[in-house]
Chain A
Amino acid sequence: MPAQRIEALLTGAGVKFERVNERTWELTPGPTRSIEGTLVWITGSFRKTGDLLKIHSHVGSLPEDADVKFFQDIFRKNRDMGHGGFALIDNTACCYVDTLELEGCEQNDMDATLDWLTRAGDVFRQKLDRAKLPYIET
């Protein structure tokens, strides 16, 4: 069952989770990993090659005075990321989002996605550090 497999991957990754509906899990800090996020199980994918796991986590709010250069920096960070990227949920809430293919997804894949999720939060917070504006190259 895909749901059992998803939960086994999350348990193996050391996060706590709660299944909030048929296709959504909320992730909370667990014994070995302090993250918060949401996992959505998507069927009928873009590539039509199988189900997807979409993981996203809020990394911060856009500063009110975010200018064009701020956005350009965020997009340039996306270029350098190994997987996933920054996205906007609405006009102000910025998140990191990554997608895994459920078929063939192994524990190290899930672990690494959650590692990138943690790194993305750090990168975004550094970007908001006024002392380091205008550019942060991590």
Chain B
Amino acid sequence: MTSTQIENLLTNMGVKWDKIIKNMWSVVDPEGKIPKVIISIEPGGRTGGHIIKFVVFVCDVPVDTGIDFYKEFLKMNFKIEHGAFAMETRTEMCFIDNLEFETTDEVEFEASLRALMDAPRRFQERYDIDFYTIGNPQF
């Protein structure tokens, strides 16, 4: 997988994407029906290489929320089968998933991206998680 391949893949998938900086892209639905996904290439691969990191914003952290809000997401991290809930800032909860940059093929990349785009519906169906009841979703 290369950066050029990622850009070609995004184009071929028919999604609207923008290059933010080198090795970082955003995928945005113009109609706002799917969440924004940030894709980046970062260090941290299993074998000392790089990873492709997918980050989808889940919800804003409610103002003055207590620790139960965070505990609920940490418990979900144990239940879910792929990825993890995380925070990039202290005000936004996101969901992340990583792929090995060197060994990921196009099929895996597209599957991961589509899975994250579809994450809210999947969480609702499989884990009975409704983001609208635990925070203010961005989508």
Q: Which residues of A contact B (CB under 8 A)?
A: 42, 45-47, 49, 52, 54, 56, 66-68, 71-72, 74-76, 78-91, 94-95, 97, 99, 108-109, 111-113, 115-116
Do A108 and B47 have beta carbons less than 8 Å apart?
yes
**Given the known A-B contacts A68-B70, A83-B46, A88-B75, are A75 and B85 also in contact in the complex, defined by CB atoms under 8 Å?**
yes
Q: How far is the CA of A81 from the CA of B87 in the complex (A)?
A: 12
Q: How far is the CB of B60 from chain A (nearest CB, A)?
A: 13
Q: How far is the CA of A74 from the CA of B93 in the complex (A)?
A: 12
B115 within 8 A of A: yes
Do A67 and B67 have beta carbons less than 8 Å apart?
yes
Complex partner residue of B47 from A80, A86, A112, CB under 8 angstroms: A112
B6 within 8 A of A: no
Q: How far is the CB of A33 from chain B (nearest CB, A)?
A: 15
Closest 9 CB pairs of A and B: A82-B44, A112-B46, A85-B84, A87-B77, A71-B70, A78-B86, A75-B87, A87-B78, A88-B74
Do A79 and B47 have beta carbons less than 8 Å apart?
no
Q: How far is the CA of A68 from the CA of B126 in the complex (A)?
A: 28
Do B67 and A87 have beta carbons less than 8 Å apart?
no
B66 within 8 A of A: yes
Do B46 and A46 have beta carbons less than 8 Å apart?
no
The range of chain B's interface size is 35 or more
Do B75 and A49 have beta carbons less than 8 Å apart?
no
Interface centre among A49, A78, A113 (most CB of B within 10 A): A78
**Given the known A-B contacts A46-B122, A68-B66, are A78 and B77 also in contact in the complex, defined by CB atoms under 8 Å?**
yes
Tell me the nearest residue of chain A to B71, going by C-beta: A88
Encode B23-60 as 1/0 by CB contact (under 8 A) with A. Answer: 00000000000000000000111110001000100000
Chain A neighbourhood of B65, CB < 8 A: 68
B82 within 8 A of A: yes
Q: How far is the CB of A1 from chain B (nearest CB, A)?
A: 22
A-B contact pairs, 15 of them (CB 8 A): A42-B81, A45-B81, A46-B80, A46-B122, A71-B67, A75-B74, A75-B87, A76-B88, A79-B87, A79-B96, A83-B44, A85-B85, A85-B86, A87-B76, A95-B78
Q: Which residues of B contact A (CB under 8 A)?
A: 43-47, 51, 55, 65-67, 70-71, 73-78, 80-82, 84-88, 90, 93-94, 96, 98, 111, 115, 122, 126
Chain B neighbourhood of A79, CB < 8 A: 55, 86-88, 94, 96
**Given the known A-B contacts A47-B111, A83-B98, A88-B71, are A78 and B87 also in contact in the complex, defined by CB atoms under 8 Å?**
yes
